[in-house]
Structure 1
């Protein structure tokens, strides 16, 4: 458990997470707008939403601001990010929290609902290798009601245009470096501040033991089997039980894909 005797400004932590993520993805708010547009289009203004790998609850925050009658279930494995989310939404009966590993075969048994109008996730599932992600897509198809929608905003590319991708990546990198010189926090810096907050230190230590220490550089030569092609995601969603899937939005670094049950 986190240090409940210590106090912290949970709104400030939510805001600092947003600013750190925007350093990597300057179009982040635009993709959230398109995501919530899709939720409204398919599920109306009072949806039951599963916020998958929710982190600090960034999507839930935007869903509830736009749809005050919505209900969300926030699921994550990271105890530090969940501590921030729980603090940020403390006392809000519209939000439930579940700590679970999405690669565990029984993780859905912890959910308070058996069916959802929408499942949403952002900048999270790229941590999963190909086969666990394929299995998860099949599981999500079973969690959505008929006609429900799954929305995944993540690092995905149209690999048919490598030169254009490289040019856009170079521009994004240059702009990111400029913002870094102006004082923007990166991933490692942000986690260093988390570890230094007495209200989060214990949860951060558990996170580092469970998922690794983000303050340390990734080992040179580390290899992963993680799909990055938008086409792979669309094809896999269809193969795993969704009736249709398409890209709704993209930027230089990310894409938002939608799939309907």
Structure 2
């Protein structure tokens, strides 16, 4: 049963605005991801796995695009999962699992999915674990199914330009924080921790991540393409790019 949160949509809105401070073109990448799902459908409603799905951002958009889809959301963060459960209200299967170990596979309600989607999440995993996860994801997909990962993936052919783009983005973000037009990551979590309904879940989150997530690891897009190819996917490529970010797709 989902926890009682007075207005989960207010938290969804707040999360979206906080995330958009980092990713102004966030909706464009989601649209590209869902267009890719649409391209591999085989005439029936898709079965979608929202990997490291947080508040349910991708699941909500997938269900809006494909109303008859079956969605499974996997994450470990209890606070974000509380918001997801309240917002999705039974429209998706919510699974608590740790992607740092292969045991997460045993928590899935289905053996195969048409699409596995994730955004701005897997950079918390170290290289060796992400390499193994990519291989695990191939086996989660049906033949012809697609995996899409949208994240910070610099183009290693333009390193200096990428640095300048990131510096400019940081300047714009800091200006928005200074004016109070949007909450920063830390401010958002402080606000969540002061909410009576979310406070217990935020406390549980701090117990899981006592020092926060591990340091971010953002290899270039070429690393992702090479690693997905080595994992045995039949087609691998970039379906979207925005500055230092990209979305890579891999077809089983």
TM-score band by shorter chain is over 0.9
Instruction: Identify if the C-alpha distance between structure 1 residues 253 and 227 changes in structure 2 by more than 3 Å, giving closer, same or farther.
Output: closer
Specify the SS of the correspondent of 2:116: strand
Contact 2:5 2:86 in 1 (8 A): no
- Among 230, 237, 258, which residue is 2:249 paired with? 258
1:225 offset after TM fit, Å?
8.0
Matched, 1:181 2:178: yes
What is the CA-CA distance between 1:174 and the residue it aligns to? 2.0
Residues 43-54 of structure 1: pairs in structure 2 closer than 5 A: 43=41, 46-54=45-53
Match of 1:79 in 2: 78
In 2, the alpha carbon distance for the partners of 1:28 and 1:148 equals 23
Q: Distance in 1 between matches of 2:71 and 2:191?
A: 28
Cα distance, 1:239 vs. partner? 0.3
Gaps of 5+ in 1: none
Give the aligned partner of residue 29 of structure 2. Answer: 31
Equivalenced residue count is: 250
Select which of 141, 144, 155 maps to 2:141: 144
In the alignment, the residues of structure 1 paired with residue 97 and residue 164 of structure 2 have an alpha-carbon distance, to the nearest angstrom, of 39
Q: 1:225–1:254: structure 2 CA closer, same or farther, 3 Å change rule?
A: closer
Q: Is the 2:49–2:116 Cα contact (8 Å) retained in structure 1?
A: yes
Partner of 2:15: 17
Residue 67 (str. 1) matches residue 58 (str. 2): no
Secondary structure, aligned partner of 1:106 = helix
Q: Do the aligned partners of 1:75 and 1:98 also contact (CA within 8 Å) in 2? A: yes
Describe the shift of the 1:7–1:102 C-alpha distance in structure 2 as closer, same or farther (beyond 3 A): closer
Q: Secondary structure, in 3 states, of the residue corresponding to 1:228?
A: coil
For residues 169-190 of structure 1, the C-alpha deviation after alignment (integer angstroms, 9 at most, x for no partner) is 1221222122222311111000
User: Cα–Cα, structure 1 residues 199 and 259, in superposed 2: closer, same or farther, change >3 Å?
Assistant: same
Q: Whole-Å Cα distance in 2 between the matches of residues 225 and 88 of structure 1?
A: 28
Contact preservation (8 Å) 1:130, 1:227? no
* Structure 1 runs (4+) greater than 2 angstroms displaced: 223-227
RMSD: 1.9
Deviation by residue 1:135-160 (Cα, 9 ceiling, x = unmatched): 10000000000010000001111112
SS in structure 2 opposite 1:248? strand
Given the alignment, which residue of 126, 138, 160 partners 1:129? 126
